[in-house]
Amino acid sequence: MRNGVLCCILLIMVTGCAMGPDYKRPVVDTPASWRFEEKEARDLANTAWWEQFNDPVLNGLVRTALAENKDLMIATARVEEFFGRYFSTHGDQYPFIGAGAGASRERVTEAGPTPIPSGVDSTFDYYEAFLSGSWEIDFWGKYRRASEAARAELFSTEEARRTVVLTLVSAVATTYVEIRALDKQLEITHRTVETRRQTRGLFQLRLDKGIIPEIDLSQAEAEYEDALARLPEIELAIARAENALSVLLGRNPGPISRGLTIDQLILPEVPSGLPSDLLEKRPDIRAAEQDLVAANARIGVARSLYFPTISLTGSLGTVSTDLSDLFTGESKIWSLGVPLTVPIFSAGRIGGEVKGAEAFQQQALYSYLQTVQNAFREVDDALVDRAKSAQKLQALSRQAKALENYARLANMRYDEGFTSYLEVLDAERSLFNVELSKAAGQNALFRALINIYKAMGGGWVETAEAGVTSQPVKAAGFIP
């Protein structure tokens, strides 16, 4: 009979089914190509693109951020949390075995409704030692589906951590370039302030000698003060950007070291990639898909509640009133049970669980499809942004050259007495504003290129992760 029980258990384990639908990746409407593509795009999505800037300081900042950023530490700790949840859920598929022992001393009443006979010792000792076990046979796949869901949630959390890596590296590079662009604007403004200060002094001398009218000096003073007023605004922007970058680096707010100027930074190459590549490259898409896998598995967990629960329980131990007899054959006790529970009436509870799980799966499906669409949009926006930013910067460069010539000619005409100082002011004011806009345009072009790499994802995230000290999923050998 014992062999028959074992055979039945093995048969159940082999033929047992898992309730609920098996996961299949949804069909995604993938564009055949990007609406705007670069002719000279390169297959660089798997490279450490920030190193293309050729700035050792930026490389060091990225390494520091990957090692010290608090958001990344939080994301890593969250992965560890879901590791614990996975192993806890996975363990429900296997028997639970425990052990126990106890010793007590008791006294029986001599005056109760059932008094002990006279002369009998009313105090006695009690000793026990036992092993106990229980195992709910996963015939309907409830725990297998729950384990599948927990595993998918673990992988989703890991992809969320990788999304933090992607966002962090992009944010460090973007903020650093912004600081260098602001540095250039500050340099332009200081130079303009000094030039206008000298002009104001020269005009004061000319006014004192009666060469120019007072209105020219007033105009020169106004332009000097205008340039001077720009300094605090730019310095404030620099301080804020430095503080933001400091926090990304896991530090308290403070100054940031500088490397190459924005004019010396090298523009990264434009990476290439097909829209379909994003399904495998973007960690946020992969996280959304793992959420869908988990929601799909939860349907099976809910449906399994309709079916009987079969368990095996047992215990083996010894009980004795004398410690020396505890492990003798006469003290042995054991029990074996196969409890079976069948749901008969639940007042719609199980149906509600199933309906809720199916609705949640639909939410996860639509969220996945929405994440894919947003990814396509972000890449296309970044490609267009890069092209248009380059065109704008080229136009600003040509305008700056034209205004430099205009300012030179206006000063010559003013010195020769052919025009008023208003023409000089107009030329210099326009040149000053365009130089500031050109620096902002350089920043916009770098930011657009960074956004392309960020939007495309790719193997560069794994390259960046080499600087992360704790990678729980990779260290455990798990493969999504």
pLDDT tens for each residue of 419-442: 777 787 888 888 889 999 999 999
DSSP state, residue 271: B
Do the domain assignments include residue 91?
A: yes
> How are beta strands 340-341 and 123-137 bridged, if at all?
unpaired
pLDDT bucket at 139, cuts 50 / 70 / 90: confident
3-class DSSP string for 205-231: HHHHCCCCCHHHHHHHHHHHHHHHHHH
Which residue's structure tokens are 């609920």? Answer: 20
Residue 342's contacts (CB-CB under 8 Å, 6 or more residues apart) are 308, 309
- Identify the domain containing residue 268 by its residue range: 15-95+139-308+351-466
pLDDT exceeds cutoff 70 at 469: no
Three-state secondary structure call for residue 126:
strand
- Cα 370 to Cα 32, 363, 365, distances in angstroms: 18, 10, 9
- The helix (H) or strand (E) run that includes residue 202 is helix 142-208
pLDDT value, residue 50: 92
Do the domain assignments include residue 113?
A: no
Mean of the per-residue pLDDT values of the chain: 84
Do the domain assignments include residue 133?
A: no
Residue 355's contacts (CB-CB under 8 Å, 6 or more residues apart) are none
pLDDT value, residue 446: 95
C-alpha atoms less than 13 angstroms from C-alpha of 40 in its C-beta half-sphere: 4
Residue 39: exposed, middle, or buried by beta-carbon count in 10 A (0-12, 13-18, 19+)?
A: exposed
Residue type, 412: M
Do the domain assignments include residue 100?
A: no
Three-state secondary structure call for residue 113:
coil
Mean pLDDT confidence for 264-291: 86
pLDDT bucket at 470, cuts 50 / 70 / 90: low
How far apart are alpha carbons 139 and 149 in whole angstroms?
A: 17
pLDDT value, residue 370: 94
How far apart are alpha carbons 66 and 69 in whole angstroms?
A: 6
- Cα 330 to Cα 191, 270, 314, 318, 323, distances in angstroms: 102, 83, 19, 8, 13
Please say whether the beta carbons of 241 and 255 come within 8 A.
Answer: no
pLDDT value, residue 38: 63
Mean pLDDT confidence for 308-328: 78
Do the domain assignments include residue 134?
A: no
pLDDT tens for each residue of 49-65: 899 999 999 999 999 99
Domain of 231: which CATH number? 1.20.1600.10
How far apart are alpha carbons 49 and 170 in whole angstroms?
A: 10
pLDDT exceeds cutoff 50 at 14: no
pLDDT exceeds cutoff 90 at 96: no
Residue 317's contacts (CB-CB under 8 Å, 6 or more residues apart) are 128, 129, 130, 131, 132, 332, 333, 334
pLDDT value, residue 250: 93
Do the domain assignments include residue 326?
A: no
Q: Pick the range with the lowest mean pLDDT from 70-79, 314-323, 422-431.
A: 314-323
pLDDT value, residue 1: 40
Do the domain assignments include residue 343?
A: no
Residue type, 370: Q
pLDDT value, residue 6: 46
Do the domain assignments include residue 28?
A: yes
First to last CA, the chain: 44
pLDDT exceeds cutoff 60 at 8: no
pLDDT value, residue 291: 93
Domain count, the chain: 1
Residue 12's contacts (CB-CB under 8 Å, 6 or more residues apart) are 137, 139, 310
pLDDT exceeds cutoff 90 at 268: no
pLDDT exceeds cutoff 60 at 4: no
pLDDT value, residue 319: 80
How far apart are alpha carbons 431 and 253 in whole angstroms?
A: 35
Handedness of CA 183, 188, 191, 193 (dihedral sign): negative
pLDDT value, residue 57: 95
Q: Pick the range with the lowest mean pLDDT from 176-180, 218-222, 361-365.
A: 218-222
- The helix (H) or strand (E) run that includes residue 340 is strand 340-341
pLDDT value, residue 279: 80
Question: With pLDDT > 70 as the criterion, what percentage of the chain qualifies?
Answer: 87
Q: Which residues are registered as beta bridge partners of 112?
A: none
Please say whether the beta carbons of 286 and 480 come within 8 A.
Answer: yes
How far apart are alpha carbons 172 and 157 in whole angstroms?
A: 23
pLDDT tens for each residue of 346-400: 888 888 988 998 899 999 999 999 999 999 899 889 989 999 999 999 999 999 9
Higher pLDDT, residue 49 or 120: 49
How far apart are alpha carbons 256 and 61 in whole angstroms?
A: 9
pLDDT bucket at 467, cuts 50 / 70 / 90: low
pLDDT tens for each residue of 238-259: 999 999 999 999 999 999 999 9
Q: Pick the range with the lowest mean pLDDT from 33-37, 103-107, 194-198, 410-414.
A: 33-37
